[in-house]
Homo-oligomer: A and B are copies of this chain.
Amino acid sequence: MPTIRVGLLGLGTVGSGVYKILTGNQESIASKVGANVEITRILVRDRLRNRSLPVDSAILTENAADIIENPEIDIVVEVMGGLEPTLDYVLTALKNGKSVVSANKDMVALYGRELFAAARESAVDFLFEGSVAGGIPIIRPLKVCLAANRIQEIMGIINGTTNYMLTKMTREGSDYQQVLAEAQQMGYAEADPSADVGGLDAARKLAILASIAFNTRVTLNDVYVEGIEKIGARDIAYASELGYIVKLLGIAKETPEGIEARVHPCFIPHHHPLAAVSDVFNAIFVRGDAVGETMFYGRGAGEMPTGSAVAGDILDAARNRLRGTCGINCTCYEQKMIRPVEQISSRYYIRLNVQDRPGVLASIAYAFGDKEVSLATVLQKHTRGEQAEIVLITHRVRELNLQDALKLVQQLSSVHAVSNVIRVEGE
């Protein structure tokens, strides 16, 4: 039986997962691939550090050239993260004719074009299933299984930290700050949580998904991003009262006016398939012209789930090398316009803090009507003293019209504050 030699760049969380999977399931993997798939070198920062993994220290190296310039290595697995010097390593490996598997969403989202070009040049694979939604198969289903469809829409819960937090806020009625502290304690949120709670992590993944779904390069700059920092316990309570649940979604749609790509908190109806996706789980809802609605669900991060996706790619690359072929390269063969967020239309939930006196609602309704924003639902609650809270859900309107209406509303003397505005999706 032939041997396919794998070099790992990095032995952190995902690298350890890949190591455990490839060694633990060695026999069945060999049967599936028709070759032994063997990790022969691993790049680490410190060869002598104590490790919990039973790795033969002789295969550890602190010198990347031992892997990316090593003629015996067939597949380079990049699980070190970051861009510098990672990108250089990966491009060198591709140039040297190695297939590359990566779980690095930042690198794929920013340098997809260069990476695919280098892979094409050497006729090798560049695979990255692990870069989006951890263990959930989504890149290959989009590129192969659903390839005959025109994908119309993607809606994804693609950040586990924020989904954990929103789930906890929903179940327990607790506050953002309290839940964030708990998530940090559980290890679900980092000490600096800004990339997760601010939506940037989800935006990187959405850029990758949208590029594949719509066959046009969507970059991070094309994605409109809002985080969950402003979501309060009151918003979640109103959502529930009105039959919705609050989720941070990555949304990408193809419209006649261009591609929409945005990450922001959403109200989605209780009965939507994404509404049941709780805790750290991820799910990606895909609508295609032929297949209709599909959804892919699972763990979006972690040593073993992401390791599963990376290892699946390694097996695929190994099979291709044995056959002297490679899989699908870049699928961005079109150049579509990006539609700015001001141009989109949506329904909106709006929470206003107002003076509790007669005529306030009328003046607010008038301001919205003036900008052609029509209202579907209105709730008014007395809060305390002379303050009241008004909650509105609009019919579908242009974002620009809504922004204009909100400016008018903010100028009303009876309106203390626009407490929150959240888009309503999935209806």
Contacts of A311 in B (CB 8 A): 147-148, 290
Proximity bits, A130-147, B CB within 8 Å = 1, else 0: 000001110011001111
Proximity bits, A17-43, B CB within 8 Å = 1, else 0: 100111011001101100000000000
- Is A305 in contact with B290, judged by CB distance below 8 angstroms? yes
| Distance of A289 Cα from B303 Cα, bound (Å) | 12
| Distance of A128 Cα from B25 Cα, bound (Å) | 26
Stretch at the interface among A325-333, A365-373, A380-388: A325-333
- Is B312 in contact with A319, judged by CB distance below 8 angstroms? no
| Distance of A290 Cα from B122 Cα, bound (Å) | 31
- Is B299 in contact with A292, judged by CB distance below 8 angstroms? yes
Contacts of A146 in B (CB 8 A): 137, 308, 312
- Is B312 in contact with A31, judged by CB distance below 8 angstroms? no
A308's partner among B32, B291, B298, B308 (CB-CB below 8 A) is: B291
- Is B290 in contact with A21, judged by CB distance below 8 angstroms? yes
Write the nearest CB–CB distance from A135 to chain B, whole angstroms.
4
Contacts of A25 in B (CB 8 A): 148-150, 289-290
| Distance of A293 Cα from B331 Cα, bound (Å) | 29
Most interface-central of A281, A290, A305 (chain B CB within 10 A):
A290
- Is A140 in contact with B148, judged by CB distance below 8 angstroms? no
Chain B residue nearest in CB terms to A277: B273
| Distance of A297 Cα from B140 Cα, bound (Å) | 16
| Distance of A29 Cα from B328 Cα, bound (Å) | 13
Proximity bits, A328-364, B CB within 8 Å = 1, else 0: 1001011000000000000000000000000000000
Total copies of the chain:
2
Contacts of A129 in B (CB 8 A): 145
| Distance of A140 Cα from B129 Cα, bound (Å) | 14
A333's partner among B31, B150, B297, B314 (CB-CB below 8 A) is: B31
Contacts of A149 in B (CB 8 A): 21, 25, 308
Contacts of A144 in B (CB 8 A): 137, 140, 312, 315-316
Contacts of A290 in B (CB 8 A): 17, 20-21, 25, 135, 304-305, 307-308, 311
Using a CB–CB cutoff of 8 Å, the interface residues on chain A facing chain B are 17, 20-22, 24-25, 28-29, 31-32, 129, 135-137, 140-141, 144-150, 215, 273, 276, 281, 288-299, 304-305, 307-309, 311-312, 314-316, 319, 323-325, 328, 331, 333-334
> What 19 new A-B contacts, CB under 8 Å, besides A141-B145, A290-B304?
A20-B290, A24-B289, A25-B148, A25-B150, A28-B215, A135-B292, A137-B137, A140-B140, A146-B308, A146-B312, A147-B315, A148-B311, A149-B308, A273-B297, A288-B308, A290-B311, A291-B298, A291-B305, A324-B325
